[in-house]
Structure 1
Amino acid sequence: MEKDKQPVNRKYTKRALLLIEIQNDYFYKGKMELEGSYEAAYKAKKVLEIFRKKRKPVVHIQHIAASKNDSHFISGTFGAQIFEDVVPIKGEKVFIKYHSNSFYGTGLLEYLEQNGIRHLTIAGMKDNMLVDSTVNTAKDLGFVVDLVSIS
């Protein structure tokens, strides 16, 4: 086994929370309102509070539409903003993404590597599409992943 492909010991790895696309367009009067969005945000907020209390790294992934002709997450709009219950605070990293995978073109991998993070707790909206692609990539890259189902 290659050195960088060694199994990761969960107990001794640095862990971060990755919150994916918990943005206003998924909520009431948003351009892509999801059923259960408020319950999902509540669950994400509880996980976020645990990470903040333990002073663990938190990373927010914010999707911005690649084109102003897209239906939601248009740059500069209220709908594209991160939902108020999980809004980033000082010291929390925010990455903007334009594709479904949070690693693609964002600098996320470099950030995690630079900070020695090898264990991710991931929660986000639209598990079947957006979260899955990020979880699969994280596992392919050798991260230990805990998926928190919020939606």
Structure 2
Amino acid sequence: MKRKYKKSALLLIEIQNDYFYKGKMEFKGSYEVAAKAKKTLDSFRKKRKSVIHIQHIALDKNASHFVLGTNGAEIYEDVAPIEGEIIIVKNTPNGFIETDLLEYLKTNQIENLTIVGMLNDMSNDPTVRTAKDLGFNVQLIEKALLV
């Protein structure tokens, strides 16, 4: 019996300017995470696999970071989306809550997720747990930051 091909996608979670030099939440190690994300992104692009950018936008215009319309909320240039890649905007730590992420994955018959994100305990963890609970095969690329 032949094994059915399973579609894969890369989720890049919150790799945004506020985590880098002169950002509102600059973290030591953010460039290391970005380099790992870029390497993974380049591999997915070369193989023409789906890439999904998860961008956090604060709902409160007085929030400490990721405020809509600010440079800090923009996706970091080394992993910025190109034509054909989608951006899912989220307002909570979990990339599935109140977003179109699940609908997009189902519509595109994606079963395997590779995830690279900035903060393991804040955004990667809830998104990874939900993805696994929903039945996706998940690979988390390590080196994300712990806060």
- Bin of the TM-score, shorter chain as denominator length: over 0.9
2:140 equivalent among 133, 140, 147: 147
CA distance in 2, matches of 1:21, 1:113: 22
Partner of 1:67: 60
Verify the 8 A CA contact 1:44 1:123 in the aligned structure 2: yes
TM-score scaled by structure 2?
0.94
2:131 to 122, 128, 138: 138
TM-score (norm 1): 0.92
The CA distance in 2 between the partners of 1:126 and 1:39, in whole Å, is 12
Q: Which amino acid aligns with 1:96?
A: V
Partner of residue 22 from structure 1, selected from 4, 9, 15: 15
Q: Which amino acid aligns with 2:77?
A: E
Offset, 1:12: 2.5
1:39 and 2:32 correspond: yes
The aligned residue for residue 73 of structure 2 is: 80
Match of residue 127 from structure 1:
120
Determine the structure 2 residue equivalent to 1:89: 82
Report the Cα offset of residue 128 of structure 1: 1.3
Count residues in correspondence: 142
Deviation at 1:109, TM superposition (A): 0.1
Tell me the CA shift for residue 102 of structure 1: 0.1
Aligned equivalents of 1:108, 1:147: Cα separation in 2? 17
What's 1:48 paired with?
41
What are the Cα deviations for residues 46-100 of structure 1, in whole angstroms up to 9, with x where unaligned? 0000000000000000000010111000000000000000000000010000000
One-letter amino acid of the counterpart of residue 117, structure 1: I
Task: Please list every run of 5 or more consecutive structure 1 residues that lacks an aligned counterpart in the other structure.
Answer: 1-8
Q: Does residue 104 of structure 2 align to residue 111 of structure 1? A: yes
Query: What is the CA–CA distance in structure 1 between the aligned matches of 2:134 and 2:100, rounded to whole Å?
Result: 14
CA root-mean-square deviation: 1.0
Matched residues in 2 for 1:35 and 1:66: separation?
A: 26
Distance (Å, rounded) in 1 between the aligned partners of 2:35 and 2:130 = 26
Task: State the identity %.
Answer: 63
